[in-house]
Structure 1
Amino acid sequence: MSHGPDNTVFYLCGALLLLICLLKVPALLRHRRDLLLGSVVLLLFDGALVFFFAAPDSIAELNRVTGVPNFAAPLAYSALAVFGGASLLLIVNWRPAPAERTRRASRVCVLVYGLVVVAINALFWAGHAPVEQLTLFDGYYASTPFIREMILTYLVAQGVGTMATSVLCWRWSKQVHGSLRAGLRILAPGYLLHVCYDVVKLVAIGGRWAGHRWDFLIDQVAPQTAAPSAVFVVCGFGVPLAGPPLAQSVRSLRQLRQLTPLWEELRDVPTPGAIRTSLPWWSSPAVRLTRRRTSIYDALLALAPHYDPAVRERALRTALDRGDDAGTAEATAEAAMVVAARTRRARAGTAGTAGAGRAADAPPRQPRDLIPLSRALSSPVLSALRERPRAAQAESSHRD
C-alpha cells in the first residue's frame, strides 16, 4: 500500500516544533507556576508529536511493533485533539483576565480535552478496525460503529480549539506591536488551515455516508493544508522568540558601525589598567558593542587631563555660526576638544608634559552619547580645527 504523503515534511515540521519547545523549557523550569509558558510548551510539544505520529512510516512502525492493526490511530488522534485543547488553553492564559477566572477556565479546558482523549481511546478499543490503513483510516472506517464516533470526536474537538485560537490570535494582534504582532498575524491563518484540514475530512466522511468515495480529500487534499499550516505555526511561534534578539543584534551592529570613526580616532590612546583582551569570534554584537563603548570611555577618561575648554568654546561658536543646530554644535565642540586632547596627549607622550599645564586643570568630561560624538568627527568645522594644534606646535618649535 502506498504510504501517501512524503514523510520528510512531517518529520521536518515535527523537529522544528520540538526545537522551539526545547528552547522554551529552561524558562519553564525557572517559572514552573507560569500557566501561559506551560501552555506554550505543551502546545509545541504536542504539535511535534502530531507530526511524528502522522507520518505514514511512523504509523506503519507503531502498528508493526505493537502487533495491533491501526494502533497508531488513537495515538495520532489523541495528539490532534490535545493540540486543539492546548491551543485554546494558550489563548485562555494569554488574554487579559483576572487570575482566578483564568485558572478556572484553564481547569475546564484541561478537563474537557482530557475527557476527549479518554473518549477517543475508549471508542477505538470498543470498535473493530482489523484492516490496517496508513492514510485512509478516516474514510475506510467512516461508517464503522464506535470508530466512526472516535473520528468525529477528534475532528470536532480539534476544529473547535483551532478555530477559537485563530480568531483570538487575530483579535489580539490588533492590540500589540512588533514581533509579537507579526507572530500572531502568522498564527491566525496557520490555525485556520488546521480548521480547513478538519472540514476537508468531514466532507469526505459525509461523502462516504452518502455513498460517494472521496478518498482523495483525505490522503491528498487534507495533507496539503496540514503542511503549510505547520510552517505557519512554526514561524508564528518562532518570530516572537527570535524577533527581540534579532532586533537587538541589528541595533548593535548599526551602533558598532556608527562608532567606528570615534573608535579609530581613539584606539591608539594608552589606557593604563584597561582590559584589552580580544573577544572570541562567536561573541554577539551586543557584547562587542559593550566592549567598544567601554574602550572608548576608557580612552576619553585617559584624555581628560588634556581637555581644553577654550578649544571647545571656539568649535562651538564656529559650528553655530555655520548654522548647525544646538545639539549638533555641542557634539562638534565635544569632538573638537577630544581631537585636540588626543593630539596634546600624543605630544606629551613624546616630549614630556610641556604644553599640557593649562588643560590639566580642566574637569573630566563624559559625553552622554557617543554616537553624535562619532558623527561629529566628519564635520567641516572639525577638519579646520584639526590643523590648529599642528600650527601651534610648529610655532612653539620655531620659538624654541
Structure 2
Amino acid sequence: MTSGPGNLMYFSSGGALLLVCAVKVPALIQRPHDALLRAACRLLFAGGCIMFLAAPGTIVALNRLTGITNFSAPVVYATLTAYSGSSLLLIIHWRPGPAEQTRRLARRCTAFYGLAIVAVFLLFAAGSTPVEQITLFDVYYADTPFIREMIVTYLVAHGVAATANILLCLRWSRQIGGWLRAGLRLLVSAYLMHLSYDVTRLAAVGARWSGHDLDFLVDEVSPRFAALSAFLGAVGFALPLAGPRVAETVRAVRRLRQLAPLCGLLQHVPAPGAVRTLLSWWRTPPTVLLTSRKTALYDALLALTPYCDPAVRDAAHAAALRSGDDAARAAAVADAAMIVTAVQRQRAAPGRVPDRARPSPWRSPALAPISRALASPVVRGIRRHDRAPAESSTP
C-alpha cells in the first residue's frame, strides 16, 4: 500500500455515477427496448463499478475473498474495458445516423471490446503475479511476460474509446445547442481525463521498460484523473436530462418572487365561485405552485372588475409617462394603480357581482409587470394616501 488516494475518493466518484444510473432506471423499466437508454445505464453502472472495484479496500478484500493474488487486477481492467466499450456504444447510439450504420458500428464495437475483455483474463491466467500490489500493479509487473501485454491491452482499449468519444462528441456538439451541447462538452472534458489517465499510466510503464521510475504517476496522479472523469461524466450525462427541468424550476421560482407583491395585495380579495387550494411551498413543485398562484390572481382580478375605474388607470398612466416610464412600464403602472384603488373600494363596499360579458379593463397583458409596478412612486402614493392620483368617476 502506498500514499495514493484513499477509499473515499473512489467511493464518492462511483456513487455519483451509480446515482445518475439509478435516476435513469425507471425510464429503462418503461422502455426496455430503448438501445440508447440501455447503453447509458450500462455505461453509468460500469463506471460506478470501476470506481468501487478500484478502491484499495475493495482490491484487498477481493484478493482475500478469491484467494488468488492480484485477482482484482484483471477484474478492474476487464470492467474498465467494458466501460470503454459501453461509452463508445452510447455515443454510437446517441449520435444521429442511419440505422444500419449504427447497428454495424455497434456490432464491431461489441466484438472488439468483448475480445479485449477475454484477452485480459487469458493473459492474466498465462502470467505470474506472486506479489500482491494494491496501487502499483502496472509498474511492478511492467516487465512480466503476459502481464505486460495485459496492461497494454486494457490501456490501449481504454485510450481508443476515449479518443473516439472525444472526436464524436466534439463533432456532434458543433451541430446542436442548448443543454445537449453543454452535456457533450462536459463529456469531452471527461474523456480527456480518461485519456490523461491512460497516458500517465503508459508513461510510467514505459519508464519501467527503460529503467526509470515514474511510479508516482500510477499511484498518485492517474487515480485523480479517474475520479475527475467520473464526476464530469456523471454531470455530462445528467445535464441534458436534468437541465431543462432545473431551468423550468428556476424560472418558476423567479416568477413566484415577481408575483409576491401582487399576491400579497390580492390574497384577501373574496372571489365567489373560485376554488382556492392552499398548497405548501415546501411540498409543492414550483411549477405547480406558480400555476395555482396565477389562477388565484386571475380569480381575484375578475372579482375586482366591478370596482375598476378607467379614469384612475388613465390618470396613473399619464403620471407614469411624465415620470419617464416607457409605454410598457406606464401601462403596468396604470393597471397596478387601478387594482390598488379597486381593492380599496371593494373593502369599503363589498358585494358587487362581476359582469363576465364586460371587456377586460387591463392594459398590461401579464401579471409580473403589474406586480413589479406596485413598487412605482405613482402606486405607492395611492397606497400611502388611500386615494387615486386624480378625480375618478364611479363605475
**Band the TM-score falls in, shorter-chain normalisation:** 0.7 to 0.9
For residues 390 and 218 of structure 1, what CA distance do their matches in structure 2 show? 77
For residues 64 and 384 of structure 1, what CA distance do their matches in structure 2 show? 80
For residues 127 and 291 of structure 1, what CA distance do their matches in structure 2 show? 69
For residues 75 and 191 of structure 1, what CA distance do their matches in structure 2 show? 22
Deviations 1:314-358 (A, max 9, x none): 544555566644333333333333333323322222xx65xx89x
**2:296 partner letter:** S
Query: Counterpart of 2:93?
Result: 93
Query: Counterpart of 2:73?
Result: 73
| 1:105-120 mapped onto 2 (5 Å cutoff) | 105-120=105-120
SS in structure 2 of the partner of residue 144 of structure 1: coil
SS in structure 1 of the partner of residue 158 of structure 2: helix
- 1:307/1:362 contact within 8 Å kept: no
2:16 pairs with 1:43: no
For residues 43 and 312 of structure 1, what CA distance do their matches in structure 2 show? 61
- 1:305/1:362 contact within 8 Å kept: no
| Aligned CA distance change for structure 1 residues 51 and 347 (closer, same or farther; 3 Å) | same
SS in structure 2 of the partner of residue 129 of structure 1: coil
Query: Counterpart of 2:345?
Result: 344
2:368 pairs with 1:371: yes
Q: Greater shift after overlay, 373-382 or 146-155? A: 373-382
- 2:17/2:231 contact within 8 Å kept: no
C-alpha displacement at 1:388, in angstroms?
4.5
| Aligned CA distance change for structure 1 residues 194 and 391 (closer, same or farther; 3 Å) | closer
- 1:306/1:362 contact within 8 Å kept: no
Query: Which of 356, 359, 362 is the aligned partner of 2:358?
Result: 362
Deviations 1:247-278 (A, max 9, x none): 22322222112112211111110123422424
For residues 39 and 365 of structure 1, what CA distance do their matches in structure 2 show? 56
C-alpha displacement at 1:111, in angstroms?
2.2
| Aligned CA distance change for structure 1 residues 138 and 328 (closer, same or farther; 3 Å) | same
Query: Counterpart of 1:132?
Result: 132
Query: Counterpart of 1:287?
Result: 288
- 2:190/2:233 contact within 8 Å kept: yes
Query: Counterpart of 2:64?
Result: 64
Query: Counterpart of 1:243?
Result: 243
Q: Greater shift after overlay, 3-12 or 311-320? A: 311-320
**1:371 partner letter:** A
**1:304 partner letter:** T
For residues 281 and 185 of structure 1, what CA distance do their matches in structure 2 show? 34
**1:271 partner letter:** A
| Aligned CA distance change for structure 1 residues 385 and 223 (closer, same or farther; 3 Å) | closer
- 1:315/1:381 contact within 8 Å kept: yes
For residues 338 and 4 of structure 2, what CA distance do their matches in structure 1 show? 74
For residues 10 and 357 of structure 2, what CA distance do their matches in structure 1 show? 72
- 1:304/1:363 contact within 8 Å kept: no
Higher helix fraction (1 or 2)? 1
SS in structure 2 of the partner of residue 246 of structure 1: helix
Query: Counterpart of 2:222?
Result: 222
Query: Counterpart of 2:54?
Result: 54
**1:231 partner letter:** F
For residues 54 and 172 of structure 2, what CA distance do their matches in structure 1 show? 31
| Aligned CA distance change for structure 1 residues 100 and 305 (closer, same or farther; 3 Å) | farther
2:324 pairs with 1:327: no
SS in structure 1 of the partner of residue 349 of structure 2: helix
**2:294 partner letter:** R
**2:165 partner letter:** T
- Unpaired runs of at least 5, structure 2: none
Q: Greater shift after overlay, 65-74 or 334-343? A: 334-343
C-alpha displacement at 1:181, in angstroms?
3.3
| Aligned CA distance change for structure 1 residues 319 and 116 (closer, same or farther; 3 Å) | same
For residues 313 and 213 of structure 1, what CA distance do their matches in structure 2 show? 84
For residues 23 and 264 of structure 2, what CA distance do their matches in structure 1 show? 39
C-alpha displacement at 1:4, in angstroms?
4.2
Query: Counterpart of 2:260?
Result: 260
Query: Counterpart of 1:5?
Result: 5
- 2:336/2:373 contact within 8 Å kept: yes
Query: Counterpart of 2:232?
Result: 232
- 2:382/2:389 contact within 8 Å kept: no
SS in structure 2 of the partner of residue 269 of structure 1: coil
2:156 pairs with 1:159: no
> How high is the sequence identity, in percent, across the aligned residues?
51
For residues 171 and 74 of structure 1, what CA distance do their matches in structure 2 show? 34
Query: Counterpart of 2:19?
Result: 19
| 1:380-395 mapped onto 2 (5 Å cutoff) | 380-383=377-380, 387-388=386-387
C-alpha displacement at 1:392, in angstroms?
7.7
For residues 228 and 111 of structure 2, what CA distance do their matches in structure 1 show? 30
For residues 114 and 361 of structure 1, what CA distance do their matches in structure 2 show? 73
| Aligned CA distance change for structure 1 residues 296 and 6 (closer, same or farther; 3 Å) | same
SS in structure 1 of the partner of residue 276 of structure 2: coil
For residues 281 and 159 of structure 1, what CA distance do their matches in structure 2 show? 47
For residues 61 and 294 of structure 1, what CA distance do their matches in structure 2 show? 60
SS in structure 1 of the partner of residue 132 of structure 2: coil
